[in-house]
Structure 1
Amino acid sequence: MPSIDEVDEIILRELSKNGRATLTELSRKVGLTPAAIKNRVEKLEKLGVIKGYSAIIDHSFLGEFLTALIEIELADPESDELSKLIRPILKLENIKDVYKKTGEFQLTIRATFRDVDSLNEFLKKIRRDYLKNMARRIKVSIILENFKEGGVTLL
């Protein structure tokens, strides 16, 4: 794991709250020059500590009115085939997050959809085309309201 110091940690916390924070804003928080902040941010990017930047958007403006958590119980959670089968799923635009986790359902997908019909089509497609016989059970929960996303409070 890359080594970071307290200043790097402050920079990371600030960027996680506001990925568009300027070098000047960060320098005020940390007490270093913008040039020093730039060097640190570039170092954190090269080390892979900062994995990317993204915007938190309202998906309804893209015609995606439904967000679902799709939990999958895997027949064999330790299978070497899993990562090969998941790679194409990761490329689907409506997939927002994919987690392998402990518990009864070892895979969780957060995705957005136009409507229930498109969700149902997606479920059929991942079972048929991607997961094949890897999924023992699939459980779906619909998100009714989102209060915080990507570290940003939405209320």
Structure 2
Amino acid sequence: MRDLDETDRELLRLLLEDGRAAYNELADAVGLSPPAVSDRIDRLRELGVIERFTVDVDRSRLREGTRLAVTLGAVPGETATVREALADVTGVEYVFATADGRLFVVGTFPDADVESTLSPALSTGAIERVDVSPLAAADWHPALGDATLGLECVECGNSVTVEGVSATIDGERYEFCCASCQARFEDRYEAFSEGA
């Protein structure tokens, strides 16, 4: 599979609506057998189109602190450092990074204590500014539209088309635009592995 067909897109739409949908329900909806649906979903996961199945929790039904939107202004070139520091912070649900070095953080903060909760990020020294706003509502409307597969060759960076190839090396899947790129990559990988 080098591109998404309408059946793939419909499966993705159905999974966006309900990530726990049973394969037999999905199969009925798209006119395939459950094993065929399973194969397609496995391929979409291998390609990285589907990263995980998750739960969308309605935070308004829980009491655990104050839900806030926090904008962090990072020192130029340091957004990755701040994102890493936020990765394991309890209560942080989303981190969005912009090209201009700002990070938008949405989370639930005990006693509205942003400073203590975000201390791993603040202690990096990479934050220039912090703006906090109470979050009144949050809506999530994932949409797929007519998306197509956008794989890049790991060797040359060109788009992987239907002529592309893939290889699994040491448990990691790689996509290539052609067999020549695959051979060059595998040769370098082997040489690197031998030298390590």
Are positions 1:37 and 2:34 aligned together? no
Counterpart in the other structure of 1:145: 137
Deviations 1:52-86 (A, max 9, x none): 1111224466642321111122231xx1x432342
The CA deviation at 1:128 is 3.6
Amino acid at match of 2:98: K
Match of 2:116 among 118, 121, 129: 121
SS in 2 for 1:52: coil
In 2, the alpha carbon distance for the partners of 1:101 and 1:82 equals: 9
TM-score by length of 1: 0.78
- Give the match for residue 193 of structure 2: none
Partner Cα distance (2:7, 2:111) in 1: 45
> Relative contact order, CA 8 A, sep 6+: which one is greater?
1
What amino acid sits opposite 2:7 in the alignment? V
> Map of 1:81-92 to 2, 5 A cutoff?
81-92=78-89
TM-score for both structures, normalised by structure 2: 0.63
Ranges in structure 1 where 5+ consecutive residues have no aligned partner:
none
Greater Cα shift, 85-94 or 14-23: 85-94
8 A Cα contact 2:69 2:104, kept in partner: yes
Whether the 8 Å CA contact 2:69–2:132 is kept in 1: the answer is yes
Alignment of 1:2-21 (within 5 A): 3-21=3-21
User: Which of 105, 108, 114 is the equivalent residue of 2:104?
Assistant: 108
Structure 2's unaligned 5+ residue stretches are 143-196
Q: Secondary structure at the match of 1:149?
A: coil
How many residues of Structure 1 are paired with residues of Structure 2 in the alignment?
A: 141
Identity %: 26
- Paired residues of 2:94 and 2:107 also in contact (CA < 8 A): yes
| Superposition RMSD in Å | 2.3
Q: Counterparts of 2:90 and 2:60 in 1: how far apart (Å)?
A: 14
Give the secondary-structure state (helix, strand or coil) at the position aligned to 2:123. Answer: helix
The structure-2 alpha-carbon separation of the partners of 1:54 and 1:150, relative to structure 1 and needing over 3 Å to count, comes to farther
Find the aligned partners of 1:106 and 1:24 in 2 and give their Cα distance. Answer: 44
Decide which structure has the larger Cα Rg and report it.
Answer: 2
1:70 is paired with a residue whose SS is strand
SS of residue in 2 equivalent to 1:64: coil
Secondary structure of the structure 2 residue equivalent to 1:44: helix
Structure with greater proportional helix content: 1
**Correspondence for 2:47:** 47
